[in-house]
Structure 1
Amino acid sequence: MDDARHIDGKRIDEKTGVETTGHFWDGIQELNNPLPRWWLWTFYATIIWAIGYTIMYPAWPMLTSATGGYLGYSSRAEVRDELATAEAARGSLVEAVRSEDVAQIVANPVLKQFAISAGAAAFKVNCVQCHGSGAQGSAGYPNLNDDDWLWGGDIESIYTTINHGVRYAADEETRQSEMPSFDGVLTPDQMADVAAYVVSLSGTPKFPDKVEAGATLFAENCASCHGSDAKAAKGVDAEAVKDLGAPDLADAIWLYGSGENAVVQQMMHPRNGVMPAWGARLGNTTVKELAVYVHSLGGGQTVAAGQ
């Protein structure tokens, strides 16, 4: 049923007295109610504001650029100014890191915090591939959070290791040492004895009956590098072996895996890992920042091992 009447050619709804649009949906007709005035004025205001915005600020795209706007504003120029301000603010700190040695940087709280922040950023770009995002290391790559250091954990030693690398042929001052293969020097049974002794220093060996013989063989073949107490640069022979980069075998920290089989494999086929020298790649300032960051992770020593 059509509940509408016509006045002057307009279709008027009988119940509301409002003109209709002539549109019907499922028996429902649309009323031509005007929009609220506040909504219309708001709409017109936004149009005026948009026109003003396109005049005052860059807006209309051209072939190779955009209209510059009456105010001449540029977001890129604003970013450049902010970066220039930030660079100027950190310039004195960068210069201080560049001119001071790492011990002086660590002794200065402001410089130390700045270097840690910068070093953390450099670490994420250059070091996480081997040492992990949290510097926790993995098989064959040292954990930098603990206090076990092959080449010393004081700030100067860490700086030297990062700067010149380990067994890195392109750097004449690189850390240099290699563990020899004992295949042919000791029999398989003798290597098993040594492995049982080494494991007994921090855990329980599978073959405890081999420990006594292994201790004798260790003293004859391994103590010259690892120390008579197997603690290397942390033990009683620290001064004699501190430059050999030999690991402490008396703790429970293992670079290439724990257990007697892993120890025997390392004796037969030593894995002498290589770390690049970062000084030539990153520059001295960044290497200092990395050293301060690594030193701050929790295992950094205040004095050189053996001193």
Structure 2
Amino acid sequence: MSEKHVDEISGVETTGHEWDGIRELNNPMPRWWVWTFYATILWAIAYAIAYPSIPMIKDTTKGLLGFSSRAELQQDLDQAKVAQIRFHDQIAARTVQEIDADPALREFAIAGGASAFKVNCAPCHGSGATGGAGFPNLNDDDWLWGGDLDSIQKTIAHGIRYDADADTHVSEMPAFGEILDSTQTAQVAAYVWSLTNTPSDAARAVAGKQIFLDNCAACHGEDAKGKADMGAPNLADAIWLKGSGEDAIIRQVSAPKHGVMPAWARRLGEPVVKELTVFVHSLGGGQ
């Protein structure tokens, strides 16, 4: 047997391994570390016996304690559903005004409404309810059919120009391209644009005011601030659903676009419609 090598500086025996002249000292591990390592092994064995851990062909060992994370999750879900039943029953029995006036119910309704909105309404109105081209922004103060709780509830429940619902909102702007000539259309567009912006031709805008009063005021009002009972938009608030600018106004006056919103009452049920109503109203623009 070859003689063991001892390091000259430390006086500690080496392991006999050598790499490029570098030797490894044979220092034993600290006893506390060794006992800790043994303890972790015993803990792992005990854990494997007590809890599901060892994989089998189609399942795992059940463990002496019979613990199941899936069963625990299901229990938590069942408890949450039981807690929610009370709120669901109250929402079904109360009006949207009563729900909005109750802090606890309002918080629950807003949470439920936000979830329903993401699934059913966000494809058109956007995840933040800010709308898009042809789809209203639900965060602002511009409400075609009214922004109070009752009006929002009716709009959500029965939709707009939705033929399958007899109570849906119905209004259509005439195609004034068949009523006004191109000069008159350009004049009324200049006038409407002048309500919130500088028109391309001031004289044309002045001439367009009378055309507006004769043809448009019946729905939009003489002040052009709209009428919610007719779904006529406010033209004096600088909010443009179908596009801004005189050219866009000319196109809408000549051949108006009419959007359609589904009726959600039959699809979602009255309680969810109420939750959506409270949620939309809470976004900041509700009247």
TM-score range, shorter chain: over 0.9
Residue 189 (str. 1) matches residue 159 (str. 2): no
Q: Deviations over 1:47-79 (max 9, x none)?
A: 000000000000001111111101111111111
Choose 30-39 or 72-81, whichever is displaced more: 30-39
1:101 counterpart residue number: 95
Q: Tell me the residue number matched to 1:295.
A: 281
Structure 2 residue corresponding to 1:282, chosen from 268, 278, 287: 268
Give the equivalent residue in structure 2 for 1:64.
58
**1:28-55, Cα deviation, whole Å (9 max, x unpaired):** 1222221111111110000000000000
- 3-state DSSP class of the match of 1:136? coil
User: Which residue is 2:243 aligned to?
Assistant: 257
Verify the 8 A CA contact 1:21 1:31 in the aligned structure 2.
Answer: yes
Q: Map of 1:45-84 to 2, 5 A cutoff?
A: 45-84=39-78
The verdict on how the C-alpha distance between 1:190 and 1:43 changes in structure 2, with shifts beyond 3 A counting, is same
- Post-superposition CA distance 1:194-240 (Å, at most 9, x none): 0111111222111110122211111111112111221122xxxxxxx
SS of equivalent residue, structure 1 residue 232 = coil
Q: Secondary structure at the residue paired with 2:244?
A: coil
Q: Runs ≥4 in structure 1, deviation > 4 angstroms?
A: none
Amino acid in the other structure paired with 2:14: T
TM-score normalised by structure 1 residue count? 0.89
**Identity across the alignment (%):** 58
Q: Give the match for residue 12 of structure 1.
A: 5
Cα distance in 2 between the residues matched to 1:45 and 1:14 = 33
Unaligned 5+ residue runs, structure 2? Answer: none
Q: Does 1:150 align with 2:161?
A: no
- AA at the equivalent of 2:118: K
Contact (CA 8 Å) 1:151, 1:243: kept in 2 or not?
A: yes
TM-score for both structures, normalised by structure 2:
0.95
Q: Report the residue type matching 1:160 in the other structure.
A: K
Cα pair 2:187 2:204 within 8 Å, conserved: yes
The reply to whether residue 131 of structure 1 matches residue 125 of structure 2 is yes
Query: Which residue pairs with 1:30 in the alignment?
Result: 24
For 1:106-157, what per-residue CA distance to the aligned partner results, in whole angstroms no more than 9, with x for missing partners?
1222211211111112112222222122211122111111111100111011
SS in 1 for 2:277: helix
Amino acid of the structure 2 residue aligned with 1:288: K
Q: Distance in 2 between matches of 1:184 and 1:269?
A: 9
Write the distance in 2 (CA, Å) between the matches of 1:34 and 1:12.
16
Task: Give unpaired runs (5+ residues) of structure 1.
Answer: 1-7, 234-241, 302-307
- SS of residue paired to 1:24: strand
| Cα distance in structure 2, aligned partners of 1:163 and 1:254 | 25
- What is the total number of aligned residue pairs between the two structures? 286
**Alignment match, 2:203:** 209
Moved more, 149-158 or 200-209: 200-209
Deviation at 1:17, TM superposition (A): 4.0
